[in-house]
């Protein structure tokens, strides 16, 4: 068996979505790993491998219409559909790993989806790992493009519009990874009007995070960030006042922390926090049952 198993997830509407499943022989825990708006699971092999090597089963779905999913490129009909897709991936992870509890890990736009998924149904979530999450973007479509998207929602919801993130330097200063992004045929360059509206509606779901039951949160930020608003993001998470919250900042890094010339500190921190969180939870359970 190779590093991962390639599997197909059957979503609620029959859509067959590509996913990668990484599993040690005897999983100690499980992680559902959500990628960003343009990326796909292939961008995050190093962190998935590191988690697997630490004893975690990891499921990385390519979001419908992205990555290796050629059907309906860049499209999602609604936020409910996107959240249903996360639930389908969660169920597949539980079935394969034998673990009811799991960690939600989201990168960039996937961090927003992870937060929304937790608000919608947080049962079993043991921690949120939010890597430069797209909760408060600095980069977005222009006002004119917003108008055209609004018109398209009435006339042609499947019309595609450019995703305003086509400069690889926004993601990383590391030249080899810039070239990877530019040359990657699976990178998503456009999304439909319906997807943009669904994404905007997810913002409203994320805004309700503070009224949800607390969970441990690890927020990881890039000091040289040009895609998301670090100050607003950090304030949003800290204002929750949830126990088990940690904020880690990499001062010299850009948005895609895994694409740094030396991603080792990031990879180590992701795994260490998840393991520490699990150890603390197990210790608390022992004390309660003593």
pLDDT tens, residue by residue, 191-202? 999 999 999 999
| Structure confidence at residue 2 as a pLDDT band (50, 70, 90) | low
CA distance 148 to 161: 9
> Does the pLDDT value for residue 85 go beyond 90?
yes
pLDDT tens, residue by residue, 15-43? 999 999 999 999 999 999 999 999 999 99
Supply the mean pLDDT for the chain. 96
Handedness of CA 11, 14, 18, 20 (dihedral sign): positive
pLDDT tens, residue by residue, 233-260? 999 999 999 999 999 999 999 999 999 9
The answer to whether the CB of 145 falls within 8 A of the CB of 182 is no
pLDDT of residue 91: 98
> Does the pLDDT value for residue 275 go beyond 80?
yes
CA distance 22 to 12: 23
Tell me what percent of the chain is helix, strand and coil, each rounded to the nearest 5: 45, 20, 35
Give whole-number Cα distances, 242 to 126, 143, 216, 269, in Å.
Answer: 13, 36, 7, 20
The answer to whether the CB of 30 falls within 8 A of the CB of 47 is no
Of all residues in the chain, the percent with pLDDT exceeding 90 is 93
pLDDT of residue 283: 80
Helix, strand or coil, per DSSP, at residue 255: coil
Order of strands across the sheet with 217-222?
5-10, 16-22, 56-61, 29-34, 102-107, 125-131, 217-222, 245-250
Structure tokens at 99: 């673990």
pLDDT of residue 1: 42
Q: What is the pTM of this model?
A: 0.95
Structure tokens at 164: 């305003």
| Structure confidence at residue 290 as a pLDDT band (50, 70, 90) | low
Domain boundaries, the chain: 5-289
pLDDT of residue 128: 98
Give whole-number Cα distances, 35 to 94, 113, 192, in Å.
Answer: 19, 9, 18
Q: What is the CATH number of domain 5-289?
A: 3.40.50.1820
């Amino acid at each position: 068996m190779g590093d991962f198993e390639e599997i197909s997830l059957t979503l609620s509407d029959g859509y067959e979505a590509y996913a990668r499943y990484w599993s040690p022989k005897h999983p100690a825990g499980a992680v559902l790993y959500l990628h960003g708006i343009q990326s796909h699971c292939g961008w995050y092999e190093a962190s998935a491998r590191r988690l697997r090597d630490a004893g975690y089963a990891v499921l990385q779905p390519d979001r419908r219409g992205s990555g290796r999913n050629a059907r309906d490129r860049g499209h999602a009909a609604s936020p409910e559909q996107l959240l249903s897709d996360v639930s389908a991936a969660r169920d597949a992870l539980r079935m394969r790993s034998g673990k009811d509890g799991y960690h939600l890990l989201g990168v960039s736009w996937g961090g927003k989806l992870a937060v929304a998924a937790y608000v919608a149904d947080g049962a079993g979530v043991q921690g949120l790992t939010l890597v430069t999450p797209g909760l408060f973007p600095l980069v977005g479509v222009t006002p004119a493009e917003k108008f055209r998207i609004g018109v398209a929602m009435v006339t042609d919801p499947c019309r595609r519009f450019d995703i305003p993130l086509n400069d690889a330097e926004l993601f990383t200063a590391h030249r080899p990874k810039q070239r990877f992004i530019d040359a990657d045929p699976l990178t998503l360059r456009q999304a439909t009007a319906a997807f943009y509206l669904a994404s905007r509606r997810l913002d409203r779901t994320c805004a309700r995070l503070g009224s949800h039951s607390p969970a441990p949160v690890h927020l990881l930020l890039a000091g040289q960030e040009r895609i998301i608003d670090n100050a607003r993001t950090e304030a949003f998470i800290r204002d929750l006042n949830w126990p088990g919250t940690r904020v880690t900042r990499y001062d010299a890094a850009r948005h895609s922390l895994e694409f740094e010339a030396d991603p080792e500190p990031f990879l180590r921190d992701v795994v260490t926090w998840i393991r520490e969180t699990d150890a603390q939870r197990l210790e608390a359970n022992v004390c309660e049952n003593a």
